[in-house]
Amino acid sequence: MKNKELKEVTIFFITTIFLSLFVFWGPIALFKVPTIGFSRGATGPVWAIILFIIGGFVPSITGIILTLVYDGKKQAKLLLRKAFQVRIGFKWFVIIILAAIYFAVSWIVIYTASGENFNYSKILTLLPTIFPLFILGPLSEEYGWRGFALKRLLRVVNPNIASLVIGLVWSLWHLPLFYIVGTNQYEYNLSFPAFMISVTSISFIYTYIYIKTNQNLFTAVFFHWVYTFVSDVVYSGIVRSKFFNSLEFLPALLIGLVFAFMLHKLHPVENTFNVNGTIEEKV
């Protein structure tokens, strides 16, 4: 069973990275073709925009298709529904929102420590974007990263290893964005190593909440949604500097270590799942 799970996850990773680097985002990055302007208004040809948007949905599309191949139509339909199982309990809504607020406050503190003033008006101006982000952010990715990959990795490795592996692959999937004209990564000249540390660290938060809510995929979708909105709000209200870019990853690293410790302390029963996704005790 372990070899089967690892094979399926490996195929998911290879397919997702290949499509990103060589089919959708990679060619756009290689030839510096502008797509959608997120920060400075760069707008490219329609074909490039289409490739860019489809590339963003690769993790979820791959995860859904592979679930259909390996588990059948019934499980694929179940996976599609899992992203909308909103009954996670009030406590988890609060924890997820507080985690997102932690990032916002930390980034603003780092920014103001450099002597700058944050533009709080951006919170209101960006409110209309919160609903489109639900589709363009979490739904385009989470069926793959958590719905397919994490679900399988938790059957064969401990939660911290699973978080580390997914975090590294997840960040690598974003690599072409650092070379695509118009993306925040390109326009702000962000550091990929710092980005990788942030994404990998955040992966531990996803895993902890996912396990504690009995693999409820909506928790990953909701956290991804709130985190993306909060980061967009903060980033739009600052003027980036080397000081901010060099310290931006610290909040993620610190909280990631906390959640890694909590994952390590989980009872074995809490991180063992059977093929149907329900908790089972280790023998």
**Residue range of the domain that includes 13:** 2-271
- Which one of 150-154, 228-232, 271-275 scores highest in mean pLDDT? 150-154
Of the candidates 160, 159, 161, the one whose C-alpha atom is nearest the C-alpha of residue 271 is 159
Q: What is the pLDDT of residues 3-52, one digit of tens each?
A: 899 999 999 999 999 999 999 999 999 999 988 765 555 578 989 999 99
What is the predicted pLDDT for the residue at 281? 39
For the chain, the residue count is 283
Determine, yes or no, domain membership for 51. yes
How many structural domains does the chain have?
Answer: 1
Determine, yes or no, domain membership for 184. yes
Alpha carbons 37 and 49: distance in angstroms, whole number: 10
Determine, yes or no, domain membership for 277. no
Determine, yes or no, domain membership for 281. no
* 75, 130, 157, 214 from 254: Cα distances, Å: 36, 27, 23, 25
Its sign, for the CA torsion 119, 39, 26, 49, is positive
Of the candidates 4, 131, 145, the one whose C-alpha atom is nearest the C-alpha of residue 64 is 145
> SS3 of 279, please?
strand
The average pLDDT across 264-277 equals 66
pLDDT band at 280 (very low <50, low <70, confident <90, very high): very low
* In the block, residue with structure tokens 């710092």: 194
Retrieve residue 84's tokens: 């909308």
Determine, yes or no, domain membership for 279. no
Q: Is the pLDDT of residue 190 over 60?
A: yes
Residue 53 neighbours by CB distance under 10 Å:
14
Q: What is the pLDDT of residues 149-184, one digit of tens each?
A: 999 999 999 999 999 999 999 999 999 999 998 887
228 contacts 145 by C-beta, under 8 angstroms:
no
Alpha carbons 279 and 89: distance in angstroms, whole number: 18
Alpha carbons 113 and 116: distance in angstroms, whole number: 7
Backbone angles phi, psi at 53, to 5 degrees: -65, -45
Determine, yes or no, domain membership for 53. yes
Residue 274 vs residue 238, higher pLDDT: 238
260 contacts 160 by C-beta, under 8 angstroms:
yes
Determine, yes or no, domain membership for 280. no
Residue 43 neighbours by CB distance under 10 Å:
13
Determine, yes or no, domain membership for 52. yes
